[in-house]
Amino acid sequence: MADGEGDPGVFTATALPGDPRLLPTVTNAFLGTRVFRDILHAAGVYSGAAGDTHRADVPSPLGLRMAAPGARSPAQSFTLNTWTGTFSHTIQTPGYRATHQLYAHHSLVHLMASSVTIQRLDGSTHPITIQLQSLFVPQSQDLHLRPGPDFQGAHYIYGQTLVPEVEGGPRPTVHMLWTPIPQWLTLGGEERERCWQFLTAVAGSEEEAKRSYSAGLSLAAAGSLHRSHVRAWAALRRGCSVELDGPLALRQALHGCLYYLLSALPPRDSPGVPFHGISPGGLSNGTRGEDYWGHVFWDQDTWMFPNILLLHPGAARAILQYRIRTLEGARRNARDQGYEGAKFPWESAATGREVCPEEIYGAQEIHITGDVVMAFEQYYCTTQDLKLFREDGGWELVEAVARYWCSRMVWSEEEQLYHIRGVMPPDEYHSQVDNSAYTNAVARRSLNFAADLARDLLLPVPEEWEDRARKIKVPFDEERKYHPEYDGYSPGEPVKQADVVLLGFPLMHPMSAEVRRNDLEMYEPVTDPAGPAMTWSMFAVGWLELKELQRAWSQLEKCFSNITEPFKVWVENSDGSGAVNFLTGMGGFLQVVLFGFTGFRIKRSSLLFDPAFPEGITKLKLSSISYLGNRLEVTITREEMRMEVAEASREPPASPLEAVLESGHRFPLREGQSVSFPTAPGWIQRLPSRTP
């Protein structure tokens, strides 16, 4: 490992990777860039119509490179500190140290900042000069930009994207203010140290851009701009803390995944700012032709969301609100294909209309509609947030999806079952198949949840929802006791990625341990070893479930070939192709830790646990598991589990909880009181109310 045996959350190198795609990213909920890059992206700002829609390139003055002319072979280092959310480049000579820092401010989400600090290290009195190299030009291929008057020493440009996503639709506006960047910085002969701050504010309105820039200037003048970012970021990391005792590579991978995924989330205190979803390559990528063009897929709802839900339910809610805001687009997609209800697009941007450049995926990969609803179901079971469903549009979405699935099914007289025909399953090597096991199982789950939710909301339950859920075909081979991927699948046929294995987790489709094992045994050897990174994590979760710890570890190890050095940036495929900064793979990896090692399963009335660690891992500590308004600290070793309610919500009041072991032992979980018991399967549930 490039970092030796140092802090697993700090990645340091003396040289940069040769491929600029593998440079680390700095992002927050609204802005993102790759270090040393001359463009950035703003959330929700797309240009191009339909299949040409892509993140609009915003010119970035932050892609500075620092050089020390005249210095003889200075020592250089490049560091990504995941504890402070900061990237730094340091040049050191015997006489001075120059440090360039870059970060996307975590609480002022319209602000990115960089600074250059020169420190004199000896007693000399001559001026020290550093060169700043920049490719910045205030122009964009995607925005019609005009200059405006300077503001508080900042230059100003503004303009709109060139082409709307849908004909006659809005063209997002971008306003940008930035500190002019000189070519040279000089520390005077009488100075020991000096820091220069460079701010960039980007927003959808002039007022917000100016407000953010002014706020940044004030904090910089007080010497607390970086400190305020570090404080906000550290609070997020503390509130989403996952630590394990195990191999260094595993701990580094864990910190890298948490850094990149949490960077994409809104701060806890910004409920008024609309969230625009998370794409596979994050906000730092998505220019035309790059990393799925910044579109949002099932990657968000299936692969990233479950981790976010356990660690940061407020951010999980913001993701669901993105889907609610795009519901009208999903309704239009269904109508355009001749169906009722709402069909979520395979690739989504700002409107919820299908923006996939290739028609086959948008037409056939319809399982995403069930994936979206599964995220809503997991959120509901974990939070009991009825407001989202009663008042904020959640019920309308769940109901529209149930109507879609009903209209998408056809009745088979021969089998006396409902079929869904002509689809592409998650395994994209096959198309136009009938009765994809995963698609039909996720459709059943959507319908069952819609019926359960309707009852909870005291609404009538359409009879056809439960009837179709009961009678939809999920292919099963009675002789071999496994799930064929679709009607006509032959054992041994190559599979691109995790598909049927997802029935066990996250779908929790009813099956015996024998069938679960058979599914894993059937598909593991035929899954493409060059397939996308998240696949192996789901095999790992399956083997952990069956307590096959060595097999689980061998699957998890495959993920490491997708992690690049030195900054732990993931690539989609192990040969380096596909999306870069692949948050989907990171999401799968985190699920191995948060759901595989713990055995956590989100059920309607409980959170199951059944821990299992591969050899070499001795302890897992989660300081932030959110369940029914409680924030739980959970520490697991092979011998003991320790639980404590670290914080219970007052408004609305959190549900009192208890841990129940399969053996029947019960342990009330009270705020500030730690309980421990031998490591064993069980569940966390509401503490039953005692009647007098």
Mean pLDDT of 431-449: 98
Answer with the residue of higher pLDDT: 374 or 289.
374
pLDDT, one tens digit per residue, over 155-184 is 999 999 999 999 999 999 999 999 999 999
Q: What's the whole-number average pLDDT of the chain?
A: 96
From CA 254, how far away is CA 200, in angstroms rounded?
30
Q: pLDDT digit string (tens) for 625-654?
A: 999 999 999 999 999 999 999 999 998 899
| pTM of the complete model | 0.97
- In the predicted model, is pLDDT for residue 4 greater than 60? no
Read off the pLDDT of each residue in 440-447 and give the average, rounded to a whole number: 98
Judged against a pLDDT cut of 80, whether residue 270 lies above it is answered with: no
For 214, what's the count of Cα atoms within 13 Å in the CB-facing half-sphere? 8
Instruction: Over range 325-332, report the average pLDDT.
Output: 98
Q: Is 678 helix (H, G, I), strand (E, B) or coil?
A: strand
Model confidence at 690, in pLDDT bands (50, 70, 90)? low
What is the rounded CA–CA span in Å between residue 569 and residue 580? 7
Active-site annotation holds for 428: yes
Number of Cβ atoms within 10 Å of the Cβ of 189:
11
Q: Ramachandran region of residue 286, left (φ > 0), alpha (ψ -120 to 50) or beta? A: left
Give the model's pLDDT for residue 379. Answer: 98
Per-residue model confidence (pLDDT) at position 550: 97
Predicted pLDDT at 5:
61
Mean predicted confidence (pLDDT) in 199-226: 97
Q: What is the DSSP secondary-structure string of 449-486?
A: HHHHHHHHTT----HHHHHHHHHB----BTTTTB--SS
Give Cβ neighbours of residue 221 (< 8 Å, ≥ 6 apart).
Answer: none
Specify the pLDDT at position 3: 39
> Cα separation of 110 and 216, whole Å?
10
In this prediction, residues 461-467 reach a mean pLDDT of 97
Region 8-32 average pLDDT:
97
At 354, the amino acid letter reads: E
Residue partners of 591: CB distance under 8 A and separation at least 6: 303, 306, 307, 506, 537, 538, 541
Q: Is 296 exposed, middle or buried (0-12, 13-18, 19+ CB in 10 A)?
A: buried
- The terminus-to-terminus CA distance of the chain in angstroms comes to 61
The whole-angstrom separation of Cα 519 and Cα 484 is 9
The alpha carbon dihedral of 141, 142, 146, 147 has a sign of negative
Given the residues 191, 206, 243, 428, the one annotated as active site? 428
The residue to which tokens 């639709």 are assigned:
169
Which position has the token pair 């002969």? 189
Residues 75, 94: Cα–Cα separation, whole Å: 9
- Model confidence at 271, in pLDDT bands (50, 70, 90)? low
Q: What is the pLDDT of residue 19?
A: 95
Q: 3-class DSSP state for residue 218? A: helix
Q: What percent of the chain has pLDDT over 90?
A: 94
ω before 280 within 30° of 0 (cis)?
A: no
Q: What is the mean pLDDT of residues 280-291?
A: 93
For the segment 51-109, what is each residue's pLDDT rounded down to a tens digit? 999 999 999 999 999 999 988 889 999 999 999 999 999 999 999 999 999 999 999 99
At 594, the pLDDT band (50, 70, 90 cuts) reads very high
Span 443-465, mean pLDDT?
98
Helix residue ranges per DSSP H, 607-690: none
- pLDDT of 1 higher than 70: no
- Give me the mean pLDDT over the 539-557 stretch: 97
